[in-house]
Amino acid sequence: MPVFRPFMLAHPLEGSRLSLEDYAAEWKWDGIRVQLVRTAGQTRLYSRTGDDISGSFRRSPKAFTAEGVLDGELLVCGVGQGAADLHGGAAASFNALQQRLGRKNVSAKMLGEYPAFVRLYDILLDGQEDLRELAWAERRRRLEAFVPGLERERFDLSQLIEARDFAELEELRAGARDASIEGIMLKRRDSPYVAGRRVGLWYKWKRDPLSADCVLMYAARGSGKRSSYYSDYTFGCWTADPAQGGELLPVGKAYFGFTDEEMRWIDRFVRSKTVQRFGPVREVEKSLVLEVAFDSIHSARATSRAWRCAFPGSAGSAPTSRRRRRTGSRRSRRWSRDFP
């Protein structure tokens, strides 16, 4: 029976400059990390948490007929992120992949509109040979030899980034947002494949976040050590100038990015400025602006939200003014257009 092996993970790269003689660089794609396992004539596709998602993406496991275990990124064919000539391949945005996630029954129309494939990063087993103790450079050589035997429509190889030095790599990373790529991965060339995060082996160097001034709308108590405080926040942006009939619509939630002192200050604000209660949730006076940092923003026409922020977190707070309240909407529309 196919068995899941825990993934090797990366630490964030924070301020360090690494030698490209010691580390290899490749693009960090915006999909979901998956593991393909085939043994004894059976194939499974596992998510990062070890869940069997073969039923939702039947074509990729069906096309994987060579025995082994591969590590890669599940993506949808398209042009939303990356380019074949610059990044060794392209893919549709994560929004396109979301149309397929969690569906047990996928229609022929959806298969045609959102065809999935796997961009391969690493090889753990080649046949029955366990390669995890080998250095990354050797595993990469084995992966490059393995991939040509796979179906090209369902699998491709993640391209390594060629850069003279770290300064040039910084320049390439600066263009990641324009290409809608999450950032860069840095992998120590002599690293074995080990479960979890190990300091010094793999790093993720994500693109810098965007930010917008958003209005605090609702708050709920947090969990754990923050359960006594209102520390889970829903924030919104104006669709237009309120004097011209603009609406304040929710665009996302934030649970982190606050110091304890800021959290206590906002907790006092929530308790003193509550206008309505909905069970554990409090609606507050719309007079506090949060500077919210986020990775990307997407249209959310199917819901009551105007936009939806991905991975939001607070970058600070300040008393609001009407001028500042209007800012978020204009910037949100611009980013939604520029960074779908």
Range of the domain at 218: 210-338
Q: Tell me what the pLDDT averaged over the chain comes to.
A: 87
Tell me which residues are annotated as active site: 28
1 lies in some domain: no
- Give the amino acid at 40: A
Strand, helix or coil for residue 254? strand
Q: What percent of the chain has pLDDT over 70?
A: 87
**Contact between 161 and 26 (Cβ < 8 Å):** yes
Alpha-carbon distance of 19 to 187, in angstroms, equals: 11
pLDDT digits (tens, 9 = 90+) for 44-81: 999 999 999 998 898 999 999 999 999 999 999 999 89
Greatest pairwise CA separation for the chain in angstroms: 69
CATH code, domain carrying 226 = 2.40.50.140
Within this chain, do residues 180 and 222 fall inside the same structural domain, yes or no? no
Average pLDDT over residues 185-200: 97
The tens digit of pLDDT for each residue in 270-300 reads: 999 999 999 999 999 999 988 888 877 766 5
Q: How far apart are CA 251 and CA 270, in angstroms?
A: 19
The domain boundary residue, chosen from 146, 178, 206 = 206
Query: Are 171 and 124 members of one domain?
Result: yes
CATH of the domain at 56: 3.30.470.30
Whether pLDDT at 253 is above 70: yes
Residues above pLDDT 90, as percent of the chain:
63
Q: How many CB atoms lie within 10 A of CB 200?
A: 12
Say if residue 187 is in the same domain as residue 260: no
Q: Are 215 and 248 in contact (CB under 8 A)?
A: yes
Query: Going by C-beta distance under 8 Å and a sequence separation of 6 or more, which residues neighbour residue 109?
Result: none
Q: Are residues 220 and 104 in the same domain?
A: no
Neighbours of 59 (CB within 10 A): 15
The pTM assigned to this predicted structure is 0.77
Domains of the chain: total: 2
